[in-house]
Amino acid sequence: METKKTRILLIYTGGTIGMVKDYDTGNLKAFNFKKLLSNIPELHQLDCVIETISLDEPIDSSNMDPGHWGKIASVIEDQYDAYDGFVVLHGSDTMSYSASALSFMLENLSKPVIFTGSQLPIGDLRTDAKENLITSIQIAAVQERGRPVIQEVCVYFEYKLFRANRTTKINAEHFEAFQSLNYPPLAESGVHLKIYRENLLSRSRPKKLKVHKLLDTSVGILKLFPGITESFFKNILECEGLKALIIETYGAGNAPTYDWFTTNLKNAIKTGLIIVNVTQCSGGSVIMGKYETSQQLKKLQIINGKDITTEAAITKLMYLLGSNVSSGSIKTIFETSLRGEMK
Ligand code: ASP
């Protein structure tokens, strides 16, 4: 009996992986996607059908915004039945944001969506792009009894597959650019490809994919620092149109206990501003009430971001506000893990 080949769609958005050097300026700039494929003839050896699609204008991921996320989501929605898995080629700088956003936008996902990129351009002799791309495709193609084994949005970089909404870019130079400090890897590639099934999101039975493209960007992030002034803090809280603010607090979710800090926070909450407490540490969790310096936040009913990354928190807020979740239920929903993004 002839077995059907797995079909993978590569979605190219830009980033170093597809860049070349402009020798006049010395800058790296995006180039035509067709050249990317001709640079990796090894792709033809993979036992799956690989097709490609590119954003109209490939970009450096510093220019990514929710509009681009909507376009990526639309491609996946339109091609969902035609492919078994999707690999998104994306710049590493904002990859954790985009991949986290997509994890919320794609509800009931039952196929792999794997984001990957590289630190060195594909044409570079020492490039990390080939391994990242080839293994991402191989992982996206893993099936069991005719169904994909990975059924979530992931980031693959330097031999490790992570849940997307658990990742953070931690290094601008090393090939190991991403970390997932609060959740173990989903797979590792060595001589063999090891998938840690116990870490994967499990689905009881496939449901119809629902794509949410409406994201609300009336959100912000404030990182606390010793010496923060009242006027700066107040100005942020009173920023016109702001609906929700993530405060990156210290350690296990601690903040100053100065009167002006608490009073301004209280006033902002009274006017309807949603506040989320996320730790500025790369690993570990917010535990509100553990220290005296987080008691006031607990009393104010601030949302507990627990062990969520800032990237997942900001995109989760955009998604929840875009879905018109009522102000009465946003705390409960935010504090619930929707796509495995928090404990
Ligand atoms: N600046 C590039 C980008 O994020 C870096 C990379 O691709 O790794 O698009």
pLDDT of residue 199: 98
Hey, which of 27, 57, 93 would you mutate to test ligand 1's pocket, going by the most ligand atoms within 8 Å of its Cβ? 93
Is 215 in contact with 322 (CB distance < 8 Å)?
Answer: yes
Contact 299, 288 (CB under 8 A): no
At 31 the pLDDT is 63
As a whole number, the mean pLDDT across the chain is 93
Amino acid at site 240: E
d(C-alpha 274, C-alpha 284), whole Å: 23
109's tokens: 């996902």
Ligand 1 within 6 A of 132 CB? no
Which atom of ligand 1 is nearest to 94's Cα? 4
- Per the annotation, the verdict on 16 as an active-site residue is yes
Q: Determine whether the shortest distance from the Cβ of 15 to ligand 1 is under 6 A.
A: yes
Atom 7, ligand 1: which residue's CA is nearest?
A: 91
According to the model, what pLDDT value does residue 167 have? 98
- Non-local CB neighbours of 32 within 8 Å, separated by 6+ positions: none
Calpha distance 18→14 (Å, rounded): 6
pLDDT at position 205, please?
79
Coil vs helix vs strand at 158: coil
∠ CA 138-144-149, nearest 5°, is 60
| Regions of the chain where pLDDT drops below 50 | none
Question: Which ligand 1 atom is the nearest neighbour of the CA of 118?
Answer: 8
- How far is the centre of ligand 1, averaged over its atoms, from the C-alpha of 69 (Å)? 16
Rounded Cα distance, 96 and 165, in Å = 7
Count of CB atoms within 10 A of residue 262's CB? 16
Ligand 1 neighbour 92 (Cβ under 6 A)? yes
Distance CA 73, CA 101 (A): 10
pLDDT at 36: 63
Distance 99 CA to ligand 1 centre (A): 14
Q: Which residues contact 132 (CB under 8 A, 6 or more apart)?
A: 17, 116, 117, 118, 156, 157, 158
pLDDT of residue 28: 74
Q: What is the pLDDT of residues 144-157, one digit of tens each?
A: 999 999 999 999 99
Residue with tokens 């840690």: 196
Distance CA 27, CA 8 (A): 32
Q: Give the H/E segment covering residue 14.
A: strand 6-14
216: CA distance to ligand 1 center in Å? 25
> Quick one: pLDDT at residue 4?
84
In this predicted structure, what is the pLDDT of residue 2? 56
Amino acid code (one letter) for 280: Q
User: CB of 18 closer than 6 A to ligand 1?
Assistant: no
Ligand 1 centroid to 14 CA: how many Å? Answer: 8
Residue whose CA is at the smallest distance from ligand 1 atom 1:
60
Catalytic residue among 6, 13, 16, 309: 16
Query: Which residue lies with its CA nearest to atom 3 of ligand 1?
Result: 91
Handedness of CA 307, 310, 312, 314 (dihedral sign): positive
Q: Which of 60, 120, 169, 171 to mutate to test the pocket of ligand 1 (most atoms within 8 A of CB)?
A: 60
Ligand 1 center from residue 177 Cα (angstroms): 11
Q: What is the pTM of this model?
A: 0.95
Ligand 1 center–CA 109 separation, angstroms: 26
Closest CA to 252 of 286, 298, 204: 286
Chain-centre distance of CA 95, in angstroms? 6
Determine the pLDDT at residue 32.
Answer: 66
Tell me if 134 sits within 8 A of 146, measured CB to CB.
Answer: no
Question: Rounded to whole angstroms, how far apart are CA atoms 174 and 292?
Answer: 39
Q: Which atom of ligand 1 is nearest to the CA of 60?
A: 9
16 lines ligand 1 (CB under 6 A): yes
What is the atom index within ligand 1 of the atom nearest the CA of 95?
4
Other Cβ atoms closer than 10 A to 56: 6
Q: Is 58 in the pocket of ligand 1 (CB under 6 A)?
A: no
Question: d(Cα 150, Cα 200) in Å, to the nearest integer?
Answer: 7
Beta strands per DSSP E along 77-214 = 85-89, 106-107, 113-116, 143-144, 147-148, 153-157, 160-163, 168-169, 178-179, 187-189, 193-195, 210-211
Phi, psi of 316 (to 5 degrees): -65, -40
The per-residue DSSP string of 181-220 comes to TTS--SEEESSSEEE-GGGS---SS----EE-------EE
Q: What is the pLDDT of residue 206?
A: 83
Measure CA of the first residue to CA of the last residue in the chain; give whole Å: 45
Tokens, residue 156? 């693959």
SS3 (DSSP) at 129: helix
- For residue range 25-38, what is the model confidence (pLDDT) as tens digits? 877 766 667 666 67
| Ligand 1 in reach of 61 Cβ (< 6 A) | yes
Two tokens, residue 139: 């992982």
